[in-house]
């Protein structure tokens, strides 16, 4: 097994990313399962290199390698590099089979020749792009999850603030439930706009109970709960 490092600069959506690929060139035999797990586990991406002049290496992607990788590390960016294009025509059986198998497995295909160097850099660029795009998507999902949680906490704080000023807590909670529904607040998919709308409705409720001055003060306090969400 060889280990190498490949620094890369990637530009996605007008933003530059530096990525240091640490490449583990593991054995291609089906044996050495424990060794394979050691180096595949924790990987951010996989490059599967096949010989397009030998169809059996291509068939092994579907029958062994992709299921084996998914078993170890789950679904991660995978690029299939069809090597030795210098030995066959663009419409050769191996090339057609590779495209069909990769289409079934939803993997990106890149044709190359290690001998001439054609397509090699493009293959690594493709894998690097897919790794970074996956990272961006996961970070976006994480931020979205954090925002939803923060909005839920803000809603809880607003409801608590309202109920603390009411003598009958049970009635206060029912009032909040009704007003939050009127504001189109959905607990599973909260939005900042619906929370602000609920605060406006609570202000109107406070006006009838405490007068304009206290209602305005309460609204300002509740808006602080959503100010930085």
Rounded-to-integer distance, Cα 69 and Cα 132, Å: 19
Local structure of 31: helix, strand or coil: coil
Q: List the structure tokens of 19.
A: 């990525």
Q: 189-198, pLDDT tens digit by residue?
A: 899 999 999 9
Q: What is the pLDDT of residues 61-74, one digit of tens each?
A: 889 989 988 999 99
Q: Locate tokens 């069909």: which residue?
A: 100
Reported as a single tens digit per residue, the pLDDT across 161-187 is 999 999 899 999 999 999 999 999 999
The kind and range of the H/E element at 225 are helix 212-226
Structure tokens at 2: 């060889």
* Residue 196, both tokens: 């602000």
Fold of 2-118: Rossmann fold (3.40.50)
pTM of the model: 0.67
Query: Where are the domains positioned within the chain?
Result: 2-118, 145-226
| Res 212: pLDDT | 95
User: Which pLDDT value is given to residue 1?
Assistant: 67
Four-CA torsion 50, 53, 56, 61, nearest 10 degrees: 20
Q: What's the whole-number average pLDDT of the chain?
A: 90
* Tokens 């003060």, located at residue: 217
Cβ distance 68 to 78 under 8 Å?
no
pLDDT tens for 73-100 read 999 999 999 999 988 887 788 889 998 9
Between 120 and 89, where is the model more confident?
120
């Amino acid at each position: 097994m060889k280990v190498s490092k490949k620094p890369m600069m990637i530009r996605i959506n007008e933003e530059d990313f530096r990525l240091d690929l640490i490449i583990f060139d593991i054995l291609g035999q089906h044996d050495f399962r424990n060794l394979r797990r050691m180096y595949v586990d924790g990987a951010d991406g996989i490059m599967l290199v096949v010989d397009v002049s030998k169809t059996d290496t291509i068939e092994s992607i579907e029958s062994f390698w992709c299921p084996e990788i998914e078993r170890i590390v789950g679904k991660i960016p995978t690029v299939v590099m069809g090597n030795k294009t210098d030995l066959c025509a663009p419409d050769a059986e191996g090339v057609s089979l590779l495209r069909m198998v990769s289409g079934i497995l939803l993997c990106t295909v890149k044709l190359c020749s290690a001998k001439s160097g054609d397509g090699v850099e493009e293959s690594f660029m493709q894998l690097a792009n897919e790794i970074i795009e996956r990272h961006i998507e996961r970070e976006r999902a994480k931020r979205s999850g954090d925002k939803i949680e923060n909005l839920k906490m803000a809603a809880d704080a607003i409801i608590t603030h309202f109920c603390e000023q009411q003598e009958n807590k049970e009635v206060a909670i029912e009032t909040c439930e009704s007003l939050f529904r009127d504001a189109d607040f959905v607990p599973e998919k909260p939005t900042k706009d619906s929370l602000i709308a609920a605060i406006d409705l609570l202000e109107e409720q406070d006006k009838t109970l405490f007068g304009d001055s206290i209602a305005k003060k309460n609204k300002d306090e509740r808006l602080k709960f959503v100010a930085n969400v």
